[in-house]
Amino acid sequence: MEVLTFSKGPKAVGPYSSAVRVGNLIFFSGILPINPENGELVNESIEKAAEQILKNLSAMLSEIGLTLKNVVKTTIFTTRLDEFSKINEVYQKYFEAQTSVFPARSTVGVASLPKGALVEMEFIVEIV
């Protein structure tokens, strides 16, 4: 197992690795909607939060020569399951811009998330 570190994207908010590589797979820990430039949580709306997460992931992937095309699985955690369709709109916009194949995905409603975030996403990425 290899621990990956990134200069772009938010830092881990606890004692865990942001991402680890095992073989040709990279497992990203849950990414919060944190603006990496100022460390602040983006939480004004579920759309802006989801967009910040996907911006963060895209920036981290670009550091290692990958894109959203390499994502094979997404897990979304949200405290606002009633706004599922809004998360879908942002998610679809980001993935459709880069690929015609959406990754496998699960969405889970939760009572709360770290730092009071509205949404958190984790990803499995394939290196091809």
Tell me the whole-structure pTM to 2 decimals: 0.95
Residues of the domain holding 113: 2-126
| pLDDT tens digits, one per residue of 4-16 | 999 888 888 888 9
Number of domains in the chain: 1
pLDDT at 14: 84
Both tokens of 14, joined, read 């606890």
Q: 47 is written with which tokens? A: 């759309």
CATH number of the domain enclosing 71 = 3.30.1330.40
pLDDT in tens, 55-88: 999 999 999 999 999 999 999 999 999 999 999 9
List CB contacts of 23: < 8 A, sequence separation 6 or more.
Answer: none
d(CA 80, CA 47): 11
Range in 2-16, 47-61, 111-125 with the lowest mean pLDDT: 2-16
pLDDT digits (tens, 9 = 90+) for 19-37: 999 999 999 999 999 999 9
